[in-house]
């Protein structure tokens, strides 16, 4: 079956088309197209994501991305149809909030053949509500116009699933197979830091999450303190690596908040503040912090964050007897965190099957939404266009959205 997936939860607008085969035991996904527009450059001048700007950009990008995605998948065939007036009104109900989108959408749909797509998967949460709504409404309009079933997807389930996937580069194929349950998911992104246990396929238990900042958010804030461009995560990581090449010891000592708490909760706000105070102390004696000091501080921060993530995750692996560890979300690209997990598991829990996303798929993308959408499709979890609501605070352990009759 072929799935068209849409992602607009934050600052990436993405549409992917996947050919999916198999079942929960063994599934393969051929990536027919992957169209993505990142808004990072636009948000960089604000030093972070601005929801109103994100929403406007998604609205502007969705039709052109749909065009590219269909074209790349060789599903773009010109046609000329007239949209029935009642359909125009219904689609307009979804799209009128974004200036010009209804006209743009209708014009596009009138000019192309309905593609051979079996389901439309869309992220409906968690994320920035205004950004999510654009994708949700676009997907509802598309589902209605083409009469294709709509599958709502939890963005975090997308991060979870893509972390389990392996890529066959030659075949341009992703596969999820030979996964032993229970699976522990450590999901680390700009908005989330959580440990979820998947005991049975698609049924999650939230073990713990951050009480304040997400780890990616802390990386970004530390990046800003060190005058690095947004997003700070990859930049902080580069500085930290430079210090590790230069020195075997860490020059600054930073706290490891909640590392010994008897639960699976995290806190990264105190660690971020500790970086700020260290910087302020340095600036008591001079006006500028040196590049070397920035590298040392970045390393101390990254070490502390990695220590906490590892301690909590290992405790959860031991206590839940999980067989697989899936590390997903934007921060799972961090090479130091990966290296530390590999070492720790090799030494202490060698039977754990450690997985993270294929290269280039750690951050937000629509392929991961297609993967999660496929499993939800297998469970016939469809909703009727017009009934789906975006939910900025959606949790992985939340009840499923209402089903269409």
Q: Binding residues for Zn ion, per CB under 5 A?
A: 189, 364
Does 270 bind ligand KG4 (CB under 6 A)? Our answer is no
Does 233 bind ligand KG4 (CB under 6 A)? Our answer is yes
Record the tokens describing residue 273, joined without a space.
Answer: 């503040």
Residue 222's nearest CA partner among 234, 214, 232 is 232
Min dist CB 337 to ligand KG4, Å, is: 7
Does 333 bind ligand KG4 (CB under 6 A)? Our answer is yes
Using CA atoms, how far residue 357 sits from 29, 101, 125, 222, 346, in Å, is 14, 34, 20, 25, 19
Q: Which residue from 237, 267, 278, 313 is in contact with ligand KG4, where contact means CB under 6 A?
A: 237
Min dist CB 266 to ligand KG4, Å, is: 15
Residue closer to Zn ion, measured from CB, 2 or 221: 221
Options 52-60, 129-137, 216-224, 312-320: segment touching ligand KG4 (CB under 6 A): 216-224
Which residue has the closest beta carbon to ligand KG4? 330
Options 133-141, 211-219, 308-316, 338-346: segment touching ligand KG4 (CB under 6 A): 211-219
Residue closer to ligand KG4, measured from CB, 48 or 182: 48
Q: Strand pairing of 173-177 and 150-154?
A: unpaired
Which residues touch 387 (CB under 8 Å, ≥6 apart)? 401, 402, 404
Q: Crossing angle, helix 101-110 and helix 129-146, to 10 degrees?
A: 30
Residue closer to ligand KG4, measured from CB, 156 or 174: 156
Residue 291's nearest CA partner among 232, 246, 231, 230 is 246
Which residue matches tokens 């992602």?
7
Residue closer to Zn ion, measured from CB, 196 or 364: 364
Residue closer to Zn ion, measured from CB, 235 or 364: 364
As a whole number of angstroms, the distance between CA 366 and CA 29 comes to 13
Min dist CB 230 to ligand KG4, Å, is: 8
- Give the sign of the dihedral formed by CA 39, CA 45, CA 47, CA 52: negative
Options 96-104, 169-177, 231-239, 281-289: segment touching ligand KG4 (CB under 6 A): 231-239
Using CA atoms, how far residue 363 sits from 98, 381, 395, in Å, is 26, 25, 19
Min dist CB 253 to ligand KG4, Å, is: 21
Is the Cβ–Cβ distance between 198 and 164 less than 8 Å? no
Which residues of the chain form contacts with ligand KG4 (CB under 6 A)? Answer: 10, 189-191, 216-217, 219-220, 231-234, 237, 329-331, 333-334, 363-364
């Amino acid at each position: 079956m072929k799935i068209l997936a849409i992602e607009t939860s934050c600052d990436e607008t993405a549409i992917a088309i996947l050919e999916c085969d198999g079942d929960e035991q063994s599934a393969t996904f051929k990536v027919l197209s992957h169209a993505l527009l990142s808004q990072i450059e636009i948000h960089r001048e604000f030093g972070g994501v601005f929801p109103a700007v994100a929403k406007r950009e998604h609205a502007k990008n969705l039709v052109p991305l749909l065009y590219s995605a269909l074209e790349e998948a060789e599903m773009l065939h010109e046609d000329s149809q007239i949209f029935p007036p009642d359909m125009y009104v219904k689609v307009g109900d979804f799209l009128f909030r974004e200036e010009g989108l209804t006209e743009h959408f209708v014009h596009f749909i009138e000019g192309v053949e309905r593609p051979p797509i079996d389901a439309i998967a869309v992220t409906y949460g968690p994320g920035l509500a205004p950004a999510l709504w654009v994708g949700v409404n676009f997907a509802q309009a598309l589902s209605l116009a083409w009469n294709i079933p709509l599958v709502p997807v939890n963005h975090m389930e997308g991060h979870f699933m893509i972390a389990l996937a392996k890529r066959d580069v030659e075949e341009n194929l992703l596969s999820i197979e030979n996964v032993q349950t229970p699976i522990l998911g450590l999901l680390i992104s700009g908005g989330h830091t959580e440990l979820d246990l998947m005991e049975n396929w698609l049924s999650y238990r939230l073990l713990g999450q951050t009480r304040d900042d997400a780890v990616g958010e802390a990386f970004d804030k530390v990046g800003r303190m060190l005058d690095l461009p947004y997003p700070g995560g990859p930049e902080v990581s580069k500085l930290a690596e430079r210090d590790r090449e230069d020195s075997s010891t860490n020059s600054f000592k930073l706290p490891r908040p909640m590392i010994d708490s008897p639960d699976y909760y995290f806190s990264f706000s105190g660690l971020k503040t500790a970086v700020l105070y260290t910087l302020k102390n340095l600036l008591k004696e001079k006006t500028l912090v040196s590049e070397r000091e920035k590298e040392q501080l970045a390393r101390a921060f990254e070490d502390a964050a990695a220590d906490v993530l590892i301690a909590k995750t290992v405790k959860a692996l031991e206590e839940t007897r999980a067989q697989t560890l899936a590390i997903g979300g934007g921060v799972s690209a961090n090479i130091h965190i990966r290296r530390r997990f590999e070492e720790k598991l090799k030494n202490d829990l060698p039977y754990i099957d450690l997985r993270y996303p294929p290269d280039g798929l750690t951050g937000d993308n629509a392929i991961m939404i297609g993967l999660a959408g496929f499993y939800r499709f297998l469970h016939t979890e469809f909703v009727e266009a017009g009934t789906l609501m975006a939910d900025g605070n959606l949790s992985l352990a939340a009840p499923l959205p209402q089903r269409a009759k």
